[in-house]
Amino acid sequence: MLTEIAKIFGPKLETQPNNLALPVFAPNGGFISGLGGWSKFEKLRPDLHAIGDIGYANFYYYQGESGDITTAILYHRSDDKFVPLKAADDFAKRLEWDKAKFESIKKWLDERLPKYDQKRLTK
């Protein structure tokens, strides 16, 4: 799994950039089911990767034998058109900025993620 992510996104970033922007339509927190017990969460490890020059993906890996990804969080990369939320009137402008960034990230991912055979998925 780790080598596949590195092939698509490149190496993990060693430091967190200062231009991460969480989309307004994304929660600022999350919950991972406790079905496996709390000790399982002590083994989660996040790896942050760039999505070209438009955003970031933070993958949380379970550090068991499988190294499976449990969660992925997408961030936009702020730029000179970024709209900080300082007043209620800023929300609509920020949402438009977020939507455009999200479409750019979607296009980037569509061009680079492996394509799966639909017939294999339905059998």
- Per-domain boundaries in the chain: 2-122
For 42-97, how does the pLDDT look when each residue is reduced to its tens digit (9 = 90+)? 566 788 999 999 999 998 877 655 667 778 889 999 999 999 999 999 999 999 99
CA distance 70 to 1: 12
CA distance 98 to 104: 10
Predicted TM-score (pTM) of this structure: 0.76
Tokens of 88: 């209620």
Q: Is the pLDDT of residue 34 over 80?
A: no
pLDDT at 24: 82
Q: Is the pLDDT of residue 35 over 80?
A: no
